[in-house]
Amino acid sequence: MITAGDFKNGVTIEYDGKVCQIVEFQHVKPGKGAAFVRTKLKDIVNGGVVETSFRPTEKFPTAHIDRKDMQYLYSDGDLFNFMDVETYDQIALSKEDIGDSLKFVKENEMVKICSYKGNVFAVEPPLFVELQITDTEPGFKGDTATGATKPATVETGAVVNVPLFVNQEDVIKIDTRTGEYLSRV
C-alpha cells in the first residue's frame, strides 16, 4: 500500500478498478483547509489520462507491472509470436494487444512485454533501431537550404520523414518513441 503523500512520478497504483501510473503530482497546502495531492493518472491499459485530487492520508494498493525481455519471432496473420530467451516459452499476441508498437521492429529483435497479473497490455520496442531504407525519392543537389524532408519507407514497412540527402539502401537510426529520423549509420 502507498499513501497519496508518498506519490512519485512513475509509480503504478490500483485506482477505481484500473491500473494507473502517476504521470504528475503536486502537494498543495492552501491557506485555508486541509492539504491535498493533485495528480495526473494515466490508465496503462487504454492510455487515458485523468486528473484528480486525494487527501495525503488516502491509501492505494501498488500495482506490480512485469516487464520481460522477449524476442519477436514472426507474425502469422493477425498473431505476433514472441519467445522468452531464457525458458524458450513462446506466446502469441493478437493485433489488438500489440497496436502499432512493432512498426519499427524487425524479426528476431528483443522487445519488452508488459503484463499485469499475467495479462499482457503492451509491447515496448527498443528505444532506438537501425533500419535500411527500401524506397525513397532521390534528393537533388541544392535542395538542402531549407532543411526539408521527404518520406522514406524502411524495411519494416513504416514511413519516416528523412532529410533530402538520405538515399535508398542507406541505414538510418530511428527513435521508436516519436518515429523520428536521428542519423545515418
Query: Among positive and negative, which fits the CA dihedral 90, 95, 100, 106?
Result: positive
Distance, CA of 17 to CA of 175 (rounded, Å): 34
Indicate whether 80 and 33 sit together in one domain: no
CATH code (residue 160): 2.40.50.140
Indicate whether 53 and 73 sit together in one domain: no
Indicate whether 40 and 77 sit together in one domain: no
Task: Choose between 146 and 22: higher pLDDT.
Answer: 22
Domain boundary among 80, 100, 124: 124
24-29 mean pLDDT: 91
Indicate whether 14 and 55 sit together in one domain: yes
Q: Over 90: is that where the pLDDT of 140 sits?
A: no
Domain boundary among 83, 107, 124: 124
**Number of Cα atoms under 13 Å in the Cβ half of residue 140:** 3
CATH code (residue 23): 2.30.30.30
- Confidence at residue 142, expressed as pLDDT on a 0 to 100 scale: 61
List, for residues 39-69, the tens digit of each pLDDT value: 999 888 777 899 999 999 999 999 888 889 9
Total of domains in the chain: 3
List, for residues 71-124, the tens digit of each pLDDT value: 999 988 889 999 998 999 999 988 887 878 888 999 999 999 988 888 888 888
Indicate whether 15 and 47 sit together in one domain: yes
Domain that holds residue 30: 2-60
pLDDT band at 141 (very low <50, low <70, confident <90, very high): low
- What's the gap between Cα 99 and its chain centre? 10
List, for residues 9-20, the tens digit of each pLDDT value: 888 899 888 889
Instruction: Please give the model's pTM, rounded to 2 decimal places.
Output: 0.73
